[in-house]
Structure 1
Amino acid sequence: MKVLIIGASGFLGRTIYFIIKSSGNEVLGTYSKNGRDSDYVKLDVFDTGSLTGLVRDFKPDVIIWTVMNHELEEEIAEKVMPALCDVMGNIRFIFLSTSVAYEKNMSENVEPFLRSEESYNYHYFNGKIKSERVISRLPNYCIVRTGSIYGIDPFGVMDNRSLILKEHVDSKKTYIRAGNIKFSIIDVNELADAIIELATNDYVGILNVSEEKPVSHYEFNKALCRKYGWDDSCVVANEEKENIYYLDNSLRKRILKTRIGSLRREEEHEL
């Protein structure tokens, strides 16, 4: 299997790259900055000529897109995705997306909700939604709507949310987190395993991939402290305007063999 990972220097991308390369498959990764591996190819995805040329030259069986750009995601959807899809043919395309609405137990057929300019990260969410529309015309794609990613990658690097929490733990500065806002989460290594399984799976469409049950922002940080053995006394709950956005994983459990665990101790069981 020949795999091309677009965005292989990111937290998830480098995890997928490491696992695939360690398994003996042929893999090529791209980066825009901070390339960690000598095999990575420097690529600006907005240079669509270089992007499509790389696809034609490498001739991958699978392309995995893990790029996440909070400011330019809409431009990626409008300028990059159409050009990439034009050269895709029957190549398997795995696209990392996000939660697309504000609902409890969002199924794969939930109606995506375009954010207004006043909304948090509206370029990012709207860009992912617009990219999904372009990609859904391909014959061999899987859009992965994922929970928020946490964990430690194969290089020993921790996710940004955990790093911010650790700063508060070390400084003993109060960290106020909402106890009533619930969201889906997923460990980076388990998400990588699920995406790699999808690379050789024949499922076409959208798939939610996250842990079985959502957590509040407060519960999430408390659970991280337990996981890493940190003092959690700095984490304090508050109530904010309710904002629910978690995923229904019923289809994932039917499609994938990859086991997804749980961050919270009391829910540690095989799903």
Structure 2
Amino acid sequence: MRIVVLGATGYLGSEIFVQLKKNYIASALYGTSTTKRENFIQLDVIDKENIESVVSHTQPNVVIWPLMSRNDERKLIHTGLNNVLSYMNRDTLFIYLSTDGLFSNGSGNYTEEDQASYLDVRNPMSHYTNAKIDGEQIIRRIHNNHLILRSGPIYGKNTQGQLDHRVAYVLNEISNGNKIERATNIFKTFVHVKDLAIAITKLMMMEHRGTLHVGPEHKESYYSFFQTLINQQDDLIIPYEISEEEAEERAISHSLNTTICNSLLPHVFRKVDSEWLNE
């Protein structure tokens, strides 16, 4: 089996790449990077010729997409994703990392059958979330052999020692003695980066296809997440509730129903705790 991990030097991509090397013997494993790196293929998914050359060289059986853009997610999806899919063999398994943000009515415990909805363009997350929805639709329309994995916020230290930006920010603020407010009434299904990477290595060997919500069975508020994760005893993480006005503009809960995932992958996803600090 020949596997390509796109963005294999990023926060999640690098963990997927490492877990594949550790837990799966592939006939060929390739990782891509937008910059020139030793042992990685330089690739810009916006460049059609670049994509064609890489696909022709690697001839992958599996392509994994953990890519995201801080500047232009819409271009990444509408140009880059279309480029990748257009040059891939139709039998290639395509694994796409999506988001819980595409549920915006706030009821939570969303199943795979629940309807995604676009965010209002005034929402600062709309450019990212709406592009992710577009990506799901593009994949379903033109590439049948796919796994769309929807995840809540990804956290923790990956094998390269990188932290997600949310936790890194809070740890830095606390180390400087600054108080941080986090909401008690916004709920998410938080997923550890290593667990998600391991899940991908297992799912790619299964026959399950389509859309799958991944992560632990437990949901957490932003306040309980950080309070538990950091094992904070100094009252530097301050609880608050978002107002009714804020609640009208954003979903109170994006928590995912992960029943199917946990039946396929029992004991893979951890409940949020402070033990990750010792890894």
- Give the alignment's TM-score, normalised by structure 2: 0.88
Matches within 5 A, 1:162-173: 162-173=167-178
Q: Does 1:45 align with 2:31?
A: no
Q: Does 1:236 align with 2:238?
A: yes
Once the two structures are TM-superposed, the CA of residue 232 in structure 1 deviates from its matched residue by 4.4
Q: Does 1:181 align with 2:159?
A: no
Matches within 5 A, 1:182-221: 182-221=187-226
- Which SS does the other structure have where 1:207 is aligned? strand
Once the two structures are TM-superposed, the CA of residue 258 in structure 1 deviates from its matched residue by 5.6
Give the letter aligned to residue 98 of structure 1: T
**In the alignment, which residue of structure 2 is the partner of 1:269?**
none
Count of aligned pairs: 260
Matches within 5 A, 1:36-185: 38-88=38-88, 89-99=90-100, 100-102=102-104, 103-137=107-141, 138-185=143-190
One of 28, 31, 42 as aligned partner of 1:29: 31
Give the letter aligned to residue 235 of structure 1: I
Deviations 1:160-214 (A, max 9, x none): 2221111121111110111111111100000001111122221110000012111
Q: In terms of mean alpha carbon deviation, does 124-133 or 253-262 score higher?
A: 253-262
**Counterparts of 2:184 and 2:168, CA distance in 1:** 20
Contact 1:162 1:224 in 2 (8 A): no
Give the letter aligned to residue 53 of structure 1: S
**Counterparts of 1:134 and 1:221, CA distance in 2:** 35
**Counterparts of 2:140 and 2:85, CA distance in 1:** 10
Change (3 A) 1:232 1:94: farther
**Counterparts of 1:44 and 1:129, CA distance in 2:** 22
Give the letter aligned to residue 238 of structure 1: Y
Give the letter aligned to residue 139 of structure 2: I
What's the Cα RMSD here? 1.7
Contact 2:217 2:262 in 1 (8 A): no
Identical residues among aligned pairs (%): 27
One of 240, 249, 264 as aligned partner of 1:255: 264
Q: In terms of mean alpha carbon deviation, does 59-68 or 238-247 score higher?
A: 238-247
Once the two structures are TM-superposed, the CA of residue 83 in structure 1 deviates from its matched residue by 2.6
Contact 1:9 1:34 in 2 (8 A): no
**Counterparts of 1:104 and 1:34, CA distance in 2:** 42
- Give the alignment's TM-score, normalised by structure 1: 0.90
**Counterparts of 2:114 and 2:52, CA distance in 1:** 32
**Counterparts of 1:225 and 1:196, CA distance in 2:** 28
Once the two structures are TM-superposed, the CA of residue 34 in structure 1 deviates from its matched residue by 8.0
Deviations 1:103-136 (A, max 9, x none): 4111111111111211122111011100100111
**Counterparts of 1:107 and 1:52, CA distance in 2:** 36
Structure 2, unaligned stretches of length 5 or more?
275-279
Give the letter aligned to residue 245 of structure 1: H
**Counterparts of 1:49 and 1:258, CA distance in 2:** 42
Contact 1:94 1:198 in 2 (8 A): no
Change (3 A) 1:34 1:86: closer
**Counterparts of 1:258 and 1:206, CA distance in 2:** 20
**Counterparts of 2:189 and 2:157, CA distance in 1:** 18
Give the letter aligned to residue 239 of structure 1: E
Once the two structures are TM-superposed, the CA of residue 146 in structure 1 deviates from its matched residue by 0.6
Once the two structures are TM-superposed, the CA of residue 80 in structure 1 deviates from its matched residue by 2.2
Deviations 1:2-58 (A, max 9, x none): 2101111111100011111234432111112484xx211121111122113211220
**Counterparts of 1:261 and 1:87, CA distance in 2:** 37
| Structure 1 residue ranges (4+ consecutive) displaced by more than 3 angstroms after TM superposition | none
**Counterparts of 2:48 and 2:233, CA distance in 1:** 48
Q: In terms of mean alpha carbon deviation, does 22-31 or 112-121 score higher?
A: 22-31
Give the letter aligned to residue 106 of structure 1: Y
**Counterparts of 1:127 and 1:66, CA distance in 2:** 14
